[in-house]
Amino acid sequence: MYISVIVLLAWAVLTCNGADGKQSAIRLQDSGSVLVPWLQPHNWKPLYAEDYNDLDAMLKQRATPDKWVSLFCFSTPGNRSGSPEEAAFLRLALNALYSYRVFGRASSDIVAALTPNALEECRKYRLPCYNATNYTLDSGSYHAIGWAKFKLTRDVLKLGFNVHLSDLDVSYLKPIYPARKEIFSWSHGAADGSMMEELWVFQDDPKNIATRRPIYMANAGVVFLRANSRSTQFVESLLKYESQVYQDQYVVTLVAYHSWAPCTEEASCLAARARGLAAVQLHPSQFAGSNCQPEAGYSHCAPRHLYVHAICRATSVDKEGFLRYVHAMFIRAGSGGSSDDASQPPGWGDPSVLGQQDNDAIRTSGLPCPPNQQRTWRDWLSVSDDNAGGDDKQEKTRPDGSGVQRQLLDTDGTSGGRTVGIDGGSRLRGWAMSCLAAEGCGNR
């Protein structure tokens, strides 16, 4: 079924280049809507529709045969203003779920609604919603939302389900299952989880290199965790720092080597586990030179890329703009009715309007990738350079990182640094660490 859907989608993208553009666009929407709840016919009702208060039932319905579920946390304010920021946030959320289903070829998602309004909107879009309003009392706070996602993750792990945790400013580009299988294969299954490598450092005193310290070792926007005691203890260690002061992303680094440790292959993962630490295999940073900007010659279909995560941007408007810039925003811009009525967010009353797929953006993106480029991180640890050159470039990396150049960059807080938090946090200054991957070999 999934294969036929993707074949139809690819065929529809190609036919959009024909003379009958209008008819081609309709075909594309029809083919993609098989996996997208809000694009289904109005009389379609999902099996999970009435189970939004029952976490056990949702997990059993949504989990894969090997007990993996994908968690997305969704929050909307009680006092809607109809602002461009609110509309952009909803488009980001829908884009994450659209890309997860259509290009990620996955359907084990649960959307945790953190506010009553979020639950109402979630159900309106016929998503697999779970009423998670008990996980946060301050749903308007970025910090509270960040902590809520870890509380839910902890509880799902305790129930024996493996968790793929995803932020909503993520756009998926390739099938998730083979990518997950690939990343755990590097340690022969010894790893407990995976996060994206980030490696940002900060120097408190610009004149004293001894004051350098890590800010981010890994990014917690996309996390894979297996259900076991080590993973649960890792998440619980994060929650000990829950407050309005600490950002969850920073705390991940704070507890490194206390409750979790990065590992690169079986031996180092087993060593971490032997000490009671969650062994976390870091998957490659999303871009080759900086996590904030794509590298020269960037291609969605290069082996590095499973997703694009709009980090380093403070607002939903900026995040949406960035995803459009890199051709990873598949929900139509500005759709959803008039913005003149400030009492009603644009189009929130009509899921068939705000949530329409952007056929031109999909065509421009080059997705879905060709069959031989569908598997993210394939042969990532290989150092061979078969089929070098061409459009199918593979960056050379080794388990010990010796194929990667790390260069210290002197930043002024505007070039090379990154924003801390999305709620007006400070911008890093001083020295930053950047990974510059060497030119590499062909993707096989």
Instruction: Determine how β-strand 68-74 pairs with β-strand 162-166.
Output: parallel
CA dihedral 57, 62, 65, 68 (to 10 degrees): -100
Between 284 and 143, the more confident residue is 284
CA distance 279 to 435: 22
pTM over 0.85: no
CA distance 162 to 170: 20
Domain ranges of the chain: 35-192+217-337+350-382
Q: Count, in order, helices (H) and strands (E) of the chain.
A: 12, 14
Q: Which residues contact 103 (CB under 8 A, 6 or more apart)?
A: 172, 173, 174, 175, 367, 368
The two structure tokens encoding residue 362:
């999909």
Question: What pLDDT digit, counting tens, does each position of 86-127 carry?
Answer: 899 999 999 999 999 999 999 999 999 999 999 999 999 999
The number of angstroms, rounded, from the C-alpha of 242 to the middle of its chain's C-alpha atoms is 22
Per-residue pLDDT at 316 exceeds 90: yes
Cα distance between the two ends of the chain: 26
Secondary structure letter of residue 373 according to DSSP:
G
- Give the helix, strand, coil percentages of the chain, each rounded to 5: 35, 20, 50
Q: What is the pLDDT of residue 200?
A: 79
Lowest mean pLDDT among 59-68, 323-332, 351-360, 421-430: 421-430
CA distance 91 to 169: 10
Asked if residue 284 lies in contact with residue 377, where contact means CB atoms within 8 angstroms, the answer is: yes
Secondary structure letter of residue 228 according to DSSP:
S
Question: What pLDDT digit, counting tens, does each position of 264-313 carry?
Answer: 999 999 999 999 999 999 999 999 878 899 999 999 999 999 999 999 99
Q: Once rounded to an integer, what is the mean pLDDT over residues 181-199?
A: 95
Burial 103-115 (b: 16+ CB within 10 A, else e): bbbbebbbbbbbb
CA distance 188 to 432: 33
